[in-house]
Amino acid sequence: MAARVGLLLPHALLVSSSRALPLPTPRARLPYPPPPILLRRASSRPRRASPRLLAVRAMSSGNPYAAELAAAKKAVTLAARLCKTVQQDIVHSGVQAKADKSPVTVADYGSQILVSLALKMDVSSGPFSLVAEEDSEELRKEGAEEILEEITDLVNETIVDDGSYNISFTKEGILSAIDDGKSEGGPSGRHWVLDPIDGTKGFLRGGQYAIALALLDEGKVVLGVLACPNLPLSSINNLNGNSSGDQVGALFSARIGCGAEVESLYGSPPQKISVCSIDNPVNASFFESYESAHSMHDLTGSIAEKLGVQAPPVRIDSQAKYGALARGDGAIYLRFPHKGYREKIWDHAAGSIVVTEAGGIVTDAAGNDLDFSKGRFLDLNTGIIATNKNLMPSLLKVVQEAIEETNQTASLL
């Protein structure tokens, strides 16, 4: 019988004589981590361009970061396969809360493992660095054996079903792959940035979520992909972020200097996208977080009122909002976390470049560009706003007025 000892051994037929007659068997699947040669990693680190030259290089080169973008799209598509399986089980079982051993935890870990695997197998760009949400600490504790086994089985089943890699994970390989995401990032070198499931509560509800992956080069986001398994491929036409009758499953992608695109998560020619051209706030609609715990709805409501926005807010979980904004489903995205919350780079890296490459602008509440070079956290002024170039001046002015009024009111309490 085959044993899981890192390498899966072929079955053999034992007959009554002392000789064993092996049956023809399929090629054995390799253990993870695979040998270094299989990772296609360069033996020395290539030289990096300075940040100010990256955009120039992108404009002058026919295919900037093309191999990395292809690998990123493949990685999040593979992760989305696993996540859809788990979400369907959650919806059918009625699970509504995130606990240490809940299905969403399995999906978080599984998604991160598959993205790490795909990038290490398909990208030959020197030392591998991944800044991601999860680590293996909880899975190494006593009592975590059952969930670790569940993750291992689910990851291996997904790899077999996909057929792209001849790899089988052991439990130790699973832990090792999760810890690939422990990089701190920073201003030098290349770092992949991943949110394995952005929009946990949406995921649990059977709603919107995203697998969000970006690449930093010398502290600057140079590409991003958003796999949104439940987002309509065409557009959103109601407040729940759904569109009846349309194909569901959108994959957004962007490279610095090359624009943004959307395609089906299940295969279709990519289509160029751009933010809307609305210049009158009265005609605008705006996105915000579905959960009031994630963003101050009172503040965004005040901003909308000051702008004269007539449409009610479109509330969607996850960075799917960035994708919807980038293709013109709405005109404004507002995010104002509650006091004390620190934004993580994986919550915005992929989405922000999709919007900016679609012709939009993404800043903090003071109008500063987002700085992803400081490590795992973003140092922000109050919140994040995104819109087109026509609306940004008036939006920024109103945002600052609304924040000042909010702060004055709070000081009187």
Q: Compute the average pLDDT of residues 163-183.
A: 96
Q: Across the chain, what does the average pLDDT equal?
A: 83
List residues forming the annotated binding site: 133, 195, 197-198, 347
Regarding beta strands 13-14 and 286-288, do their DSSP bridges make them parallel or antiparallel, or are they unpaired? unpaired
Q: Which CATH class is domain 66-237+245-412?
A: alpha beta
What are the tens digits of pLDDT across the range 131-162?
998 999 999 999 999 999 999 999 999 999 99
Q: Compute the average pLDDT of residues 180-201.
A: 95
Split at pLDDT 50, 70, 90, the class of 244 is: very low
**Residues contacting 389, CB < 8 A, separation 6+:** 359, 360, 361
Measured CA to CA, the distance from residue 225 to residue 205 in angstroms comes to 23
Residue ranges of domains in the chain:
66-237+245-412
Q: Tell me 8's DSSP state.
A: B
List residues forming the annotated binding site for Mg(2+): 133, 195, 197-198, 347
What are the tens digits of pLDDT across the range 301-321?
889 999 999 999 898 999 999
Split at pLDDT 50, 70, 90, the class of 291 is: low
| pLDDT given for residue 91 in this prediction | 75
- Look up the pTM and report it: 0.84
pLDDT at 10 > cutoff 50: no
Percent of the chain with pLDDT over 70: 78
The residue ranking higher by pLDDT, 182 or 408, is: 182
Q: Tell me 381's DSSP state.
A: S
The residue ranking higher by pLDDT, 22 or 407, is: 407
Q: Is omega for the bond preceding 33 within 30 degrees of 0, making it cis? A: yes
Which residues carry out catalysis?
A: 108, 200
- Give, in degrees to the nearest 5, the angle at Cα 272 between 326 and 324: 25
3-state secondary structure 178-196: HHHHECCCCCCCEEEEEEE
What are the tens digits of pLDDT across the range 365-390?
999 999 999 999 998 878 999 999 99
Q: Compute the average pLDDT of residues 32-45.
A: 41
Phi, psi (rounded to 5 degrees) for 198 = -90, 120
